[in-house]
Structure 1
Amino acid sequence: MNTNDLKIFEAVAANGSFTKAAEAMFTVQSNVTARIKALEEEFRTELFTRTSRKVELTAAGHTLMQYCKQISHLVEEAKKNVGSSDLVNGYLKVGCVETTMALKVPEILSGFAEHYPDVELEFRSEMRSTLINEVLNYKLDAAFVPGPVNVAELEQINVKEEQLVILIAAKAPKLADLLQKQPLKIVVFEQGCVYRARLESWLSAKGIIHYKSTVLNSIEGIINFVEAGLGVSILPEEIISQYYPGRQIITYPLNRQLGTINTVLISRKDVPKSGALKAFLDKY
């Protein structure tokens, strides 16, 4: 077995077909079939179930896939670090939720780039659950997410505590009056957003279970819609005070239980960390 065998195995799993895997790996189908057969003989178990329509991983195949991801990650880290100088360099993929992208990323980019100019950073914003899964599956080196994160394979560093506030338009009626309107209009990110979940919990605690949602994918969009009187929303107070102080928006505080969110920086704990990732984590 060699790493190329495992890449062929991953290609078959990803494409659900020996033929498509051969095309993806720029080889012939007979070679793909032979390499998978060799792997199955080496592990003494079937890795795929084969039907006339598609090929799927067996339970043993799913187990091997987890090891493949670890092996691929370790090989890439070895290429970055073995035989290199003491200079911290490389490429880091970091994830964050939309609000962290607005608040933290500019500061991170300027500060980190000044100390480690040879490290290239790639940031991507996603929902919390997606970010956690991508760190677990080695697609991201680290991610800023609302904590705590109770996953055995991950370690977390506390970054900051944020206070959430309810937002309404300055021209709108008072919040208490708005809550009496049926159905209440809310402006939120898509399902899976922790801020949306907090707003819905707050409304539920007030006995409001029927509301009309307008779903947007940016902070700027939410601010614009709230200011125009198109609904109620929730965001970290720091975003409003730091980036939108002049907007026609009124904020209302929440109690500590619902209004406090801790941002943590997560990474895998069971693999060696590159010099670049160590340097990044050391900032916190």
Structure 2
Amino acid sequence: MNIENIEAFVYVIHYGSFNKAADVLFLSQPSVTARIQSLERELDCKLFDRMGKQLHLTEQGRRYLPYAQQMLQIYQKSKQQMHPNKALPNELRIGCTVSVSNYMIPEILPGLKALYPDINFKLSTGVTDDIVCKLLNKEIDVGFVRNISHPNIESVKFYVDPIRLYVYEGHPFIGDPSVSIEAIAHQPLVFFECGALDWMKIHRVFEKLEQPPNIQFQVDNSETARKLILRKAGIGFLPGLSVRHEVQTNKLFEIDIPEITGTALQTNIITLHGEHSALLEQFQQLYEREKLTL
């Protein structure tokens, strides 16, 4: 029996839909559907019923669920027993930046909890320098920070979040394929920056203009910037993860600006050299299914 099919079944139940399970597993929705159908053929029964947009377990599905969860846990534990030096701790202490805490950790932890129900998670937020200090002092096991380099730390790229210009519903830039930097500079701007070098690239886009950009709100928190733009206080440049839901629900709209193509925020996972290396593998396996790049 294919363990990936069992995994898809457990995740669909845990997240309540094929689409959400596909997002977490970094598969397409048809791939998750195919895995469920394959499992149903192996079991010779139907596991789900659809009623409109609602998804319900069949009686056979309810009976099978505890066995599926147990098989998935046994599989993970068997992998750990084969490599005991890679075993995860009973409590996983995670340090991360505020943006990771807001937009990424809620996507990751439920999946890890589903795979490792015996692990407790302890989360703390802070700026990159503070998280690095906590790691060096062994106050946390793993950190999510901006790209750094340190001789005692193993740092691996986790994801790259493109920075784009976003405008609110009804804004005249929507549908305009040739929005200029000059036109953007005249608009009321909500300017969020976190001190990373990539934000300097945004500043440099406006340097050649005769007049400085019309920055009416300058904030250091992406949530504040997002809410100001939603309230039509201005338009602004934001990391894609911070506005993913608003873009999907057509509350905010991305405007293509060639001058900032390639501008992005990189987040790395960090651990001490020689310690908790398995944590890097676990997070990457969860978040890089199908080699997905954000």
TM-score tier by shorter-chain length is: 0.5 to 0.7
Partner SS, residue 248 of structure 2: coil
In 2: Cα distance, 1:203 partner to 1:128 partner: 28
Equivalent residue number for residue 179 of structure 1: 184
Is the CA contact 2:190–2:228 (under 8 Å) kept in the aligned structure 1? Answer: no
In 2: Cα distance, 1:168 partner to 1:202 partner: 18
1:192 equivalent among 169, 190, 195? 195
Runs of 4+ in structure 1 displaced over 6 angstroms?
none
- Pair 1:156-2:174 in alignment: no
Task: Using the TM superposition, give the Cα deviation of residue 118 of structure 1 relative to its aligned residue in structure 2, in angstroms.
Answer: 2.5
- The runs of 5 or more residues in structure 1 that have no matched partner are 1-83
Task: Using the TM superposition, give the Cα deviation of residue 173 of structure 1 relative to its aligned residue in structure 2, in angstroms.
Answer: 4.7
- Pair 1:138-2:138 in alignment: yes
Is the CA contact 2:93–2:142 (under 8 Å) kept in the aligned structure 1? Answer: yes
Matched to 1:264, the amino acid is N
Q: For the structure 1 residues 173 and 127, does the alpha-carbon distance in structure 2 shift closer, same or farther, using more than 3 Å as the test? A: farther
Q: Report Cα offsets for 1:133-163 as digits up to 9, x if no partner.
A: 333343332211232x122222112222322
Within 5 Å, which residues of 2 pair with 1:8-23? none
Task: Using the TM superposition, give the Cα deviation of residue 226 of structure 1 relative to its aligned residue in structure 2, in angstroms.
Answer: 0.7
2:226 equivalent among 223, 228, 251? 223
Matched to 1:237, the amino acid is G
Q: For the structure 1 residues 245 and 142, does the alpha-carbon distance in structure 2 shift closer, same or farther, using more than 3 Å as the test? A: same
- The runs of 5 or more residues in structure 2 that have no matched partner are 1-83, 174-178, 285-294
Is the CA contact 1:187–1:226 (under 8 Å) kept in the aligned structure 2? Answer: no
Equivalent residue number for residue 236 of structure 2: 233
Is the CA contact 2:144–2:269 (under 8 Å) kept in the aligned structure 1? Answer: yes
Matched to 2:165, the amino acid is I
Matched to 2:157, the amino acid is N
Q: For the structure 1 residues 207 and 193, does the alpha-carbon distance in structure 2 shift closer, same or farther, using more than 3 Å as the test? A: farther
Q: Percent of aligned pairs with the same residue?
A: 16
In 1: Cα distance, 2:262 partner to 2:118 partner: 41
Q: For the structure 1 residues 121 and 153, does the alpha-carbon distance in structure 2 shift closer, same or farther, using more than 3 Å as the test? A: same
Equivalent residue number for residue 34 of structure 2: none
- Pair 1:106-2:106 in alignment: yes
Equivalent residue number for residue 252 of structure 1: 255
Instruction: Give the TM-score normalised by the residue count of structure 2.
Output: 0.52
Flag the structure with larger Rg: 1
Equivalent residue number for residue 58 of structure 1: none
Matched to 1:130, the amino acid is D
Instruction: Give the TM-score normalised by the residue count of structure 1.
Output: 0.54
In 1: Cα distance, 2:209 partner to 2:255 partner: 15
Is the CA contact 2:162–2:262 (under 8 Å) kept in the aligned structure 1? Answer: no
Within 5 Å, which residues of 2 pair with 1:7-156? 88-147=88-147, 149-156=148-155
